[in-house]
């Protein structure tokens, strides 16, 4: 009988593991990854080029059109005028398809780019933990002229815009 709790513990660790890889999230000061993917409209995006100039927020979320992810996206949408005034370009990233991202952007009138990272290349390049289904952890990175200047490894969906603006002003 003593083996059962140990076995259950092992199962829980396996089932709830948040990262199948050992990659660590990018550190402040790291170069932004030169990775390519597609946006919600299926257009190719060279993220390395996009992040090489100015300030950009790259935020990762588990799945489009789910409660927490919708709160996060809508927080950015509702504060988008302030985000733009701070000079921040926004890229939302999840392992959803371009079609799912397009539906999400349309449903909630999101005024920024969503990246479809079905293969997980962008998620891996930033070192964002993902579960066995490829769902990314909720993390955010602020990039200025190709360098990470801030990261939030437990991004708050209800204050994502405000946190990014404060970090941009502090840089």
Provide the token pair at 30: 């790291």
β pairing state of 139-144 and 55-60 = antiparallel
Residue 171, pLDDT score: 87
- pLDDT tens digits, one per residue of 6-23: 443 433 333 333 334 457
DSSP-based helix, strand, coil % in the chain, nearest 5:
35, 25, 40
Set out the domains of the chain in order of their start, with CATH numbers. 31-170 (3.40.30.10)
pTM (predicted TM-score): 0.86
- pLDDT tens digits, one per residue of 84-142: 999 999 999 999 999 999 999 999 999 999 999 999 999 999 999 999 999 999 999 99
Could you give the C-alpha distances from 60 to 25, 92, 106, 122, 160, in angstroms and in order?
Answer: 12, 6, 19, 9, 11
Q: Is 69 a catalytic residue?
A: yes
Give the integer Cα–Cα distance in Å for 135 and 61.
8
Q: Where are the beta strands (DSSP E) in the chain?
A: 36-39, 44-46, 55-60, 88-94, 113-116, 139-144, 147-152
Q: Which one from 32, 69, 114, 148 is the annotated catalytic residue?
A: 69
- pLDDT tens digits, one per residue of 36-66: 999 999 999 999 999 999 999 999 999 999 9
């Amino acid at each position: 009988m003593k083996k059962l709790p140990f076995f259950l513990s092992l199962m829980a660790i396996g089932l709830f593991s948040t990262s199948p890889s050992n990659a660590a999230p990018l550190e402040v000061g790291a170069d932004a990854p030169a990775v390519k993917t597609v946006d919600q409209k299926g257009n190719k995006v060279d993220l390395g080029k996009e992040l090489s100039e100015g300030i950009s927020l790259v935020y990762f979320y588990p799945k489009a059109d789910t409660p927490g992810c919708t709160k996060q996206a809508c927080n950015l949408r509702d504060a988008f005028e302030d985000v733009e005034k701070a000079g921040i370009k926004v890229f939302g990233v999840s392992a959803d398809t371009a079609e799912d991202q397009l539906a999400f952007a349309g449903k909630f009138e999101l005024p920024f780019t969503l990246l479809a990272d079905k293969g997980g290349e962008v998620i891996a390049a930033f070192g964002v933990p993902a579960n066995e289904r490829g769902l990314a952890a909720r993390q955010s990175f602020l990039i200025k002229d190709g360098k990470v200047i801030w990261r939030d490894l437990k991004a708050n969906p209800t204050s994502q815009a405000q946190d990014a603006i404060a970090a941009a002003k502090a840089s």
